[in-house]
Amino acid sequence: MTAPQRKRVLAKTDGRCHICGGKVGAKWHADHVRAYGRGGHHVEENYLAAHALCNNYRWHYLPEEFRYILKLGVWAKYQVEKETAVGEEIAAGFVQHERRRIRRIASDD
């Protein structure tokens, strides 16, 4: 994308991530609204600004799939906060996942 196109895409969301609503910095992603793998096109109208992390977590999911993932995440968060047996398993697994992700990112730099 050209610099003017990126500027227009960023303006669509007032400089915010279209996924989480947080302000995006200089290294934001132009995220496909309709995933390329699901028939979306590489055109300005099909892009919105997103944090790299948000974009990477959203992947190629359709909106209804991503809503399901968010609902599951809210339920999992509740289980972790209440320290249920399943919550403790979720927390331990998540910590392991994040450690691997951080190591992978660090090795790429």
C-alpha–C-alpha distance, residues 46 and 33, integer Å: 5
Whether the pLDDT of residue 109 is over 80: the answer is no
User: Model confidence over 73-99: pLDDT tens digits?
Assistant: 999 999 999 999 999 999 999 999 999
What residues contact 43, with CB distance under 8 A and at least 6 apart? none
Return the C-alpha torsion angle 46, 49, 53, 56, nearest 10: 10
DSSP code of residue 45 = G
Residue among 15, 19, 53 nearest 33 (CA): 19
| Contact between 47 and 31 (Cβ < 8 Å) | yes
Domain locations in the chain as residue ranges: 1-60, 61-109
User: Model confidence over 3-50: pLDDT tens digits?
Assistant: 999 999 999 999 999 999 999 999 999 999 888 888 999 999 999 999
Two tokens, residue 100: 């691997």
Q: What is the pLDDT of residue 108?
A: 81
- Residue 58: pLDDT band (50, 70, 90) is confident
C-alpha–C-alpha distance, residues 35 and 64, integer Å: 13
pTM over 0.85: no
Q: What is the pLDDT of residue 37?
A: 83
